[in-house]
Amino acid sequence: MTAALLTGMTTARLDAIDPARLPALLRQMPKAELHIHIEGSLEPELIFKLAQRNGVTLPYPSIEALRAAYAFTDLQSFLDIYYAGASVLLKEEDFFDMAWAYLGKAAADNVVHTEIFFDPQTHTARGVPFETVIKGLNHAVHRAHTGLGVSAKLILCFLRHLSEEEAFATLEKALPWRHHFIGVGLDSSEVGHPPSKFERVFARCRELGLHVVAHAGEEGPPAYIHEALDLLKTERIDHGVRCLEDADLVERLAETRIPLTVCPLSNTKLCVFPTMADHNLPALLDAGLCAMVNSDDPAYFGGYMNQNFIELFAALPQLTARHAYQLARNSFEASFVGEEQKRAWVHQLDAVFNAG
Ligand code: HPA
Ligand SMILES: [Zn+2]
């Protein structure tokens, strides 16, 4: 599979690229984003605009005060603010506006394909119908194809701090809209909520022909990654950076080419790594894993896709054009699209690296 995707670019050619071209290449190269929570793309400006439009009172007096609260110590300290921010989303056009703003940013970063997580339970718990959420998001996704040239798909995430029963109830509500999303995921507070809690829900989702992914090994132990693979049978692992603590797991991930959707700025902002220079993405690539770069919650963590690439490569000088190409190629390999489309995107990628 890997060899088939690696078209014109040889390692020797990649290593001959002038390092001065690297920042431009990172920006210009076509890429796929596979780990973005749409609620995490809600910028403070849009939060305030929607609050005003919907008559919602926010516990922050200004945009600056809200932004100042974005100093996180761990995943939970972020999730508390992230769920509060989502409280301004009430109407279909709110969900459209949020997704449309993200898709414009993605297009500007040369993201040609994005698989977008959404958290319906965050909204249905506040009385917003599932239909309102999915219709608003779907409208933006469709408009992105024609208006921005960005291919976008939706992945429904279950909140793992809630019960199995609530996940099943959410799936029931989603089924009339089954054709609007391609898969399911698992997010929210990881530690104490292992993948095993959702084994039966995921089995049902697989029966329905949905793709399955799960957050694991962000704050949780490598055992959670094993569980996601063994019990949920996930096709990708979201984050997964703690896999390096378990040599057998690394071998398993390398052999199966199960992708890891890594989020560098997220990991530094949530203190998974003390600084970007400590990030283990170079080691993940050296271990032969199908890892790539994603933004996770770009409005909260300081940047969208290209900002993640730029800060990662600036902090880790051992990363070169070879790694940039590998990361983009991995993003296409890991995406839930057909082989022909993947090959077309890799050809576009080759063209950018061959130019100049
Ligand atoms: O990084 C994350 N981890 C878990 N849940 C989330 N929900 C939004 N972002 C995240
Ligand atoms: Zn995430």
Closest alpha carbon to 259 in 242, 237, 276, 279:
237
ipTM for the complex? 0.96
Closest alpha carbon to 113 in 79, 80, 151:
151
Alpha-carbon torsion angle 310, 257, 112, 328, nearest 10: 30
Ligand 1 pocket, mutate which of 83, 193, 215, 237 (most atoms under 8 A from CB): 215
Identify whether the C-beta of residue 113 lies closer than 8 Å to the C-beta of residue 151.
yes
- At 7 the pLDDT is 57
Pairwise CA distance, residues 296 & 39, whole Å: 10
From the centroid of its chain, how far is CA 28? Answer: 20
From the centroid of its chain, how far is CA 245? Answer: 22
Structure tokens at 245: 């603590």
- At 9 the pLDDT is 82
Amino acid (1-letter code) at residue 64: E
Measured in angstroms, how far is the CA atom of residue 176 from the centroid of ligand 2? 26
Alpha-carbon torsion angle 8, 107, 262, 346, nearest 10: -10
- At 30 the pLDDT is 98
Query: Which residue is closest in CA terms to ligand 1's atom 7?
Result: 188
Q: pLDDT digits over 147-192, tens only?
A: 999 999 999 999 999 999 999 999 999 999 999 999 999 999 999 9
Query: Which residue is closest in CA terms to ligand 1's atom 5?
Result: 188
Pairwise CA distance, residues 55 & 43, whole Å: 18
Measured in angstroms, how far is the CA atom of residue 35 from the centroid of ligand 2? 6
Name residues whose C-beta falls within 8 Å of residue 164's C-beta, 6 or more positions apart in sequence: 197, 198, 200, 201
For tokens 């040609």, the residue is: 112
Torsion-angle region of 57 (φ positive above 0: left; ψ -120 to 50: alpha; else: beta): beta
Ligand 1 pocket, mutate which of 42, 76, 79, 295 (most atoms under 8 A from CB): 79
Query: Which residue is closest in CA terms to ligand 1's atom 6?
Result: 188
pLDDT in tens, the chain (356 residues): 344 444 568 889 999 999 999 999 999 999 999 999 999 999 999 999 999 999 999 999 999 999 999 999 999 999 999 999 999 999 999 999 999 999 999 999 999 999 999 999 999 999 999 999 999 999 999 999 999 999 999 999 999 999 999 999 999 999 999 999 999 999 999 999 999 999 999 999 999 999 999 999 999 999 999 999 999 999 999 999 999 999 999 999 999 999 999 999 999 999 999 999 999 999 999 999 999 999 999 999 999 999 999 999 999 999 999 999 999 999 999 999 999 999 999 999 999 999 96
Domains observed in the chain? 36-42+92-354 (3.20.20.140)
Measured in angstroms, how far is the CA atom of residue 295 from the centroid of ligand 2? 8
Pairwise CA distance, residues 139 & 92, whole Å: 9
- CB-hemisphere CA count at 13 Å for 236? 27
**Catalytic residues, which ones?**
218
Residues with CB under 6 A from ligand 1: 37, 40, 75, 82, 187-188, 215, 218, 266, 296-297
DSSP 171: H
Identify whether the C-beta of residue 159 lies closer than 8 Å to the C-beta of residue 119.
yes
SS3 assignment, position 178: helix
